[in-house]
Structure 1
Amino acid sequence: MTPRFDTIIAFVRVAETGSFSEAARRLGLSKSMISRQVSALEADLGVRLLHRTTRSLSPTEAGRAYLERCQRILADLDEANLLVSHLQAVPRGRLRVSAPLSFGIGHLSACLPGFLERYPEIELEMGFTDRHVDLVEEGWDLAVRIGRLADSSLIVRRLAPVRRMAAASPAYLERRGTPRRPEELSAHDCLTHGGRVQSEWRFTGDDGKPVQVEVRGRFHADNGDVLRDMALAGLGVVLLPSFFLGDDIRAGRLVPLLEAYVPLDSSLNAVYPHGRHLSPKVRAFVDHLATSFGPEPYWDRGLAESAAG
């Protein structure tokens, strides 16, 4: 017997949320109705899909395999519906976007008014955090992420190159000297990301191959703006994306270092689940970011001339 479609949807929502109550809320049904639908599905299939205890709810091995296949089917159905609906032509609805805190405040927020003005039927919710959010689990439509991304099931669209730079204040360099090669950083105070006393910074060697350099320092932070402030105060050498440092380098408040050795392998990216790639609101937002930042980011303008000078 082929299971009814409503029982499949009920099972997927219960498995995704880990709760009959939350699944019922999302589907606009009673908890008892959701429970009966999942039980009916298990009876139709002749297999138990969920482990149920008084404190927890989780898919069985068969339930996990069935959930994965059902999620793909539902995502394909959503895409098919979008393809033939009016939503495909007119971006509208609620759009939830996660972005890094410093980049979001310093650069991303400036391009949001233009997006909202162009698409008046979109309601935009931004979440600024440096935490790596789970898009599917937490219900985000897409995320803006910086750096080299690990392989995943998400779609990645590269928006712009992100140039990393090593820099220090003129006062620090006058006091401690200017490093000419990455290995010389071992004799310098380095301002590192995170809470580790010792960190590894990546550079490119004379032979073009990547090299790891161990650096140490007395100050560590998990925020690029704070590390930049410490560099401006003359407390050490910093390695950060150029969107943190560009204005200070152009103004002479910071001096770029080791430019020939810093690899150009990072990027600004939009990432989103496969089920979102036909969504007009997601596509409109990603296109807007690509136009605003790439392929040559405005924060890099004039840096080469500043360094040469």
Structure 2
Amino acid sequence: MKWNISDLPVFVAVVEKEGISAAARSLRMPKSSVSRFVQRLEDDLQVRLLERNSRQMRMTSEGEVFFKHCQLIMEQVEAADAHMNGLSHTPSGELTISLPMAFSRDVLAGHLHRFNKQYPEIQLNIQVTPTAVDLIGEHIDLAVQVGDLPDSELIAVPLFETPLIWVASPSTYAAGHTFPGLDALVEQVHVCERRYNKTALPMRYQGDKHKVEIQASIETTDPIMVRDTVIAGSGVGLLPSLYCRSAIERGELVQVAQNMELDLMAKASAVYTSRRMLSAKTRLFIEFLKDLTSDM
């Protein structure tokens, strides 16, 4: 590492104060020294961190990425300092999280107040999106992603695995209703989550392994839309058990075709970019998610 870690607080101050003059006043340093520290950091990194002229300053894309890492480093330093001095470090600041819609609505939303009450100085910025995100490029601290993760440098913490089951409304089929064959079953699937539609799905039926392919005319990224559409009477739905339990308990859905089991599990993980750079507030939220999903 060629760059000097002692230059980081100066760079962070320049960004947070939106200028060299304001940073110099905050740090009680000469403007020339602040400017020199930033220039030295850029020279050592061999990238341009800030675009600046006499009237304005903005971060480059490289500067934005580096600033995010600087914030994590500074937080770790502060936490270590507090611990070594026998103080109670209180995590604070903004935590940006990306969540799938179904997880945010059915798993997390009713419990967020608990985290907020326990850690009131952490500001949660929750972004709900149906697709995987670029954690570094979009400045996301933590994301919950469903399914198998592609090979990458992301660190994944498993949260839950839940069976996929066939469900229907009671007015459409009686509980446990069976079908004469796999083809007869999939013909009744009119709405399906994209990850399972038009894909060869492994199944177990009558002691043998099979592959079936759903050809639903309605495709969505949201399993909650699948669930609600099936509740309204649209044939059979294939859904993670996690998102059906309450509806089954209320009598809005029944499980059907129990003799036709998917040899596949729906799963979700909390992912972040680097264990070495994991901030205290990110670690706390991961533990919160693990506790929340421990009995699912």
TM-score (norm 1): 0.66
Are the aligned partners of 1:185 and 1:215 in contact in 2 as well (CA < 8 Å)?
no
Instruction: Give the Cα–Cα distance (whole angstroms) in 1 for the partners of residues 41 and 123 of structure 2.
Output: 36
Give the match for residue 165 of structure 1.
Answer: 165
Q: Report 1:83-122 matches (<5 A).
A: 83-85=80-82, 89-122=89-122
Distance 1:211 1:149, change over 3 A: farther
**Farther-moved stretch of structure 1 (249-258 vs 187-196):** 187-196
Are the aligned partners of 1:161 and 1:268 in contact in 2 as well (CA < 8 Å)?
yes
Give the match for residue 253 of structure 2.
Answer: 254
1:145 corresponds to 2:145: yes
Are the aligned partners of 1:203 and 1:262 in contact in 2 as well (CA < 8 Å)?
yes
Q: Report 1:226-241 matches (<5 A).
A: 226-241=225-240
Distance 1:39 1:114, change over 3 A: closer
Give the match for residue 18 of structure 1.
Answer: none
Q: Deviations over 1:24-45 (max 9, x none)?
A: 7568446xx9999898778779
Give the match for residue 193 of structure 2.
Answer: 193
Tell me by how many angstroms 1:159 deviates. Answer: 2.0
Instruction: Give the Cα–Cα distance (whole angstroms) in 2 for the partners of residues 44 and 80 of structure 1.
Output: 21
Tell me by how many angstroms 1:246 deviates. Answer: 1.3
Instruction: Give the Cα–Cα distance (whole angstroms) in 2 for the partners of residues 3 and 280 of structure 1.
Output: 25
Task: Look up the equivalent residue of 2:158 and give its one-letter code.
Answer: R
Tell me by how many angstroms 1:151 deviates. Answer: 2.5
Q: Report 1:210-249 matches (<5 A).
A: 211-249=210-248
Instruction: Give the Cα–Cα distance (whole angstroms) in 1 for the partners of residues 96 and 44 of structure 2.
Output: 37
Give the match for residue 16 of structure 1.
Answer: none
Task: Look up the equivalent residue of 2:249 and give its one-letter code.
Answer: R
Q: CA RMSD in A?
A: 4.5
Instruction: Give the Cα–Cα distance (whole angstroms) in 1 for the partners of residues 81 and 194 of structure 2.
Output: 48
Tell me by how many angstroms 1:244 deviates. Answer: 2.3
SS at match of 1:269: strand
**Structure 1, unpaired ranges of 5+:** 14-23, 51-56, 60-66, 298-309
Distance 1:210 1:155, change over 3 A: farther
Give the match for residue 28 of structure 2.
Answer: none
SS at match of 1:274: coil
Are the aligned partners of 1:194 and 1:220 in contact in 2 as well (CA < 8 Å)?
yes
Are the aligned partners of 1:75 and 1:275 in contact in 2 as well (CA < 8 Å)?
no
How many residue pairs are counted as aligned between the two chains? 271
Tell me by how many angstroms 1:199 deviates. Answer: 1.5
**Farther-moved stretch of structure 1 (121-130 vs 82-91):** 82-91
Tell me by how many angstroms 1:249 deviates. Answer: 1.8
TM-score (norm 2): 0.69
